Amino acid sequence: MISRRSPIGVFDSGVGGISVLRILRHDMPNEDFIFYGDSINAPYGDKSEERIREMCDDSIRFLFSHGAKAIVIACNTATSAAATYLREKYKDAIIVAMEPAVKPAVDKAINAYPHVLVLATNSTIHGERLHHLIGRFSENADIYPVAAPGIVPLVEAGKENSPEIDAYLKDLLQPFRKKEDGGGGQIVDSVVLGCTHFPFVTDRIREALGYDVIFHDGAYGTSRETRRRLREADLLTDSTTPGKVELYSTAANDNPTALAKRLLELPFEFRP
């Protein structure tokens, strides 16, 4: 039986969802959380929609078995492939999903006609959900969707600050560097982080571009929606003490939650 003091369940294809969990904790510091990272199957972006739905179903059933009062799909790829399926299957559950922050990137832009780079996995880039989202705002901005499949495995390997990530991003983002820096000259104003692993490499993305940009992270909207849905269902915690976090992972090593713990403890600047 769920109650106000039941935990909020959060799942991802790996450790990327930790970037969402830290914002949820900031917004709702007295809530308890259970995080489930399916690292053994990461990345989801190179798998079929049918397979992604199966893996998401496994994750959500694990969280329900641990008493979760709400589910946060902390993965853009999983959202694109499985959110509708999961909501239809678990009709009475509170299921909150991710959405790449294209709308705030356009609506909050300093320039009247902004240039927006959207980085995401292959699955998200080619999915209907993102295509529809970009279509809604393409008249008011130049939007450049770019698949960045190499980031997830490097973050999953704990290499979010490494020569490997720098080399990968320098090659990937070459078209968006200044011409005097050997780039293609297509300068962007902002970058939409269309995968929950990507907030861990924002400094490396900025370095690879060679100039400052504004980053937009859909986790803030997801956190607000989670809080709204819980309030609507009268399920926000009534606890006045800081909540606890339980971490679970399918990673095949001797300390499967070590990377998740390290990432969760990294300092970050809260930018709602």
Q: What is the tens place of the pLDDT at every residue in 161-174?
A: 999 999 999 999 99
CATH number, domain of 144, equals 3.40.50.1860
Active site residue 195: yes
Q: Same structural domain for residues 148 and 80? A: no
Domain boundary among 217, 235, 256: 217
Asked whether residue 1 is assigned to any structural domain, the reply reads no
**Is 180 contained in some domain?**
yes
Express each pLDDT in 65-103 by its tens digit. 999 999 999 999 999 999 999 999 999 999 999 999 999
Asked if 58 and 235 count as a contact pair (C-beta separation under 8 A), the reply is no
- Residue identified by tokens 């800081």 is 242
In angstroms, rounded to a whole number, what is the distance separating the alpha carbons of residues 37 and 140? 37
**76, 123: one domain:** no
Helix (H) or strand (E) holding 173: none
Is the domain of 112 the same as that of 207? yes
Q: Does residue 236 lie within any of the structural domains?
A: yes
E strand intervals along 74-204:
95-96, 115-120, 142-147, 190-193
For residues 26 and 93, membership in a common domain is answered with yes
* pLDDT score for 252: 80
- Active-site annotation holder among 10, 52, 75, 152: 75
85 lies in the same domain as 125: no
The answer on 234 and 190 residing in a single domain is no
210, pLDDT greater than 90: yes
Cis preceding-peptide flag for 175 (omega within 30 of 0): no
pLDDT (0 to 100) of residue 256: 86
Pair 119, 198 in one domain: yes
Judgement on whether residues 19 and 58 belong to the same structural domain of the protein: yes
Say yes or no to pLDDT of 191 above 90. yes
Cβ contacts of 144-148, under 8 Å, gap ≥ 24: 144/115, 144/116, 144/117, 144/118, 144/176, 144/186, 144/188, 145/118, 145/120, 146/117, 146/118, 146/119, 146/120, 146/172, 146/173, 147/120, 147/121, 147/122, 148/119, 148/120, 148/121, 148/172, 148/195, 148/198
In this structure, is residue 2 part of a structural domain? no
- Does residue 272 carry a pLDDT above 80? no
How much is the mean pLDDT over the chain?
95
Q: How many domains does the chain have?
A: 2
Output phi, psi for 33, to 5 deg: -130, 145
Helix (H, G, I), strand (E, B) or coil at 130: helix
Residue 272 belongs to a domain: no
Catalytically annotated residue among 195, 201, 208, 247 = 195
Domain range spanning residue 60? Answer: 8-98+219-264
114 with 197, same domain? yes
Which pair of tokens denotes residue 153? 């495995």
- For a pLDDT cut of 70, what percent of the chain falls above it? 100
* 202 lies in the same domain as 162: yes
* Residue 56 a catalytic site member: no
